[in-house]
Structure 1
Amino acid sequence: MTHSQLSLNQATIKYAPLADAVRVTADAGYSSIGLWREPVAEFGLAASVTLVEDSGLRVSSMCRGGFFTLTEGQARRAAIDDNRRAIDETAAFGAPTLVLVAGGLPDGSRDLVGARARVADAIADLADYAQESGVTLAIEALHPMYVSDRAVVSTLGQALDIAEQFPAEAVGVVVDTFHVWWDPQVLDQIARAGATGRIASYQVCDWATPIAQDALLSRHYPGDGVIDFGSLTRAVLSTGYTGDIEVEIFNQQIWDAAWPDVARRTAAAFDAVVAPHLAESARR
């Protein structure tokens, strides 16, 4: 039996079609799954909701919304409209959280400050709708190596600077160990997030070098790298966080492995390096 807070993010078994991903996750003893919009769209939203309900799993989060850094125009309006659809999809599953990836610099731009400002502006367009839908928009800070092409929000502090402009029920943050472990301010920023109830999702995977040729595919099973899961997990739990903890891994070798084996190894890794800190917190 896997830990009750452990969730398998669908990206960890990326090549599994939705029905297979749900089956493998449930068969491995998980209580929760993190879904991605593209496989849901392929299977059909209504059919996907029924599939998950029948499996007995809950949905910990929906990935992903965001990509807000375009300058004003038709493409930016289309992106914001797509995020409204993402909120609807998240709500259809009864999931609490839509993960937002800010987006990188627009083609030809060097205006990092302006790009970050447009992220906040887009969230302002969506926050009320999300809150009315019962969905928290969770801003995910990505490691700075992704700032140009994927996320101009690089630290938990930057994510909180945006989130704190809105009600906590509407906008929170993701604490993802892969992206924030290096930050000298991370423990203080986790405490800051917790003080106002802003931690909408806690995601775990490990960091190991050398970085893959495609830097996106450099995540590892917890325990296979250098991240101190003890300090980060204790910091998150000390805020009162009781939500699901997702393992989200982008790694070609893991994607190429048998899905049930990945699900089992993910649970074993979690039990070895994350779960002991959950037990320690429960004893306090």
Structure 2
Amino acid sequence: MSGDKGVALPLPPLREVIARHGLSANRALGQNFLFDLNLTGRIARAAAPLDKGSVIEIGPGPGGLTRALLDHGAREVIVVERDRRFQPVLAEISAAYPGRLQIIEGDALKVDASKLGTAPRRIVANLPYNVATPLLMAWLEAGTAFTSLTLMFQKEVADRLLARPRTKDYGRLTIATQWRAEVKRLFDVPPRAFTPPPKVTSTVVQLVPRSEPLFPADAAVLEKVTAAAFGQRRKMLRQSLRQVLPQAEEVLLAAGIAPTARGEELSIEQFCTLARAFKARRVAGARSIGPL
């Protein structure tokens, strides 16, 4: 086939490439290879449209999802991979899709994805489980730098992202995520879909960053309040919040929240109201709740 720009050359099956390069998953880096073409194609279709701007993939490994994104019309895919063993494999994919794949060798935690490529930016990734949450928080803090995030997590993490008040999964991660983005569960992926199979089911989730947070609040204060509220989630708020503000009961009452309530009972709107009340108390010259 032609090697002209944008015209894909044939690539051998992924398992054959893995065997030829003698590659194996590194558990310390949270690696699990996804070979199922139906699943990688399904993820790519869920992230569409891909023909404008840049698609950013974190931890591509041998490039199963990378191939799917390119096959489904991605104009430009930028991959960030810290494991040097995969550089030759990714280079082969780049040669097969001339001018459409950019490879960055580095740690995704140290790369500002919001500065990569051009808008509209979409992140699509089978995230390494051990860094999934800090990566997500960093991307959400970048706000509308990203049009969408189509990501695979452990199912238990996805459950926390999607949780509702008064459920066991509802907590700090729920509030931090839903405050900044709309979250939708797409589909589950069984362990057998991976090599080696993980011990847990995975879930693909799509997040669309909000143009503004759901309710007004200072992000640092909101984080401090939710950390205290869920640090000992069975305690009443008048007790759990004392570690950040001695006058917790008074502030709760002023915010219209029952001091006997527990963190899991409050809506995101109520937590934002509480965060504003805490900040107002500090600004008014009350006893400091510590550095924010």
Instruction: Give the TM-score normalised by the residue count of structure 2.
Output: 0.31
- Bigger Cα Rg: 2
Select the structure with the greater relative contact order (CA < 8 A; seq sep ≥ 6): 1
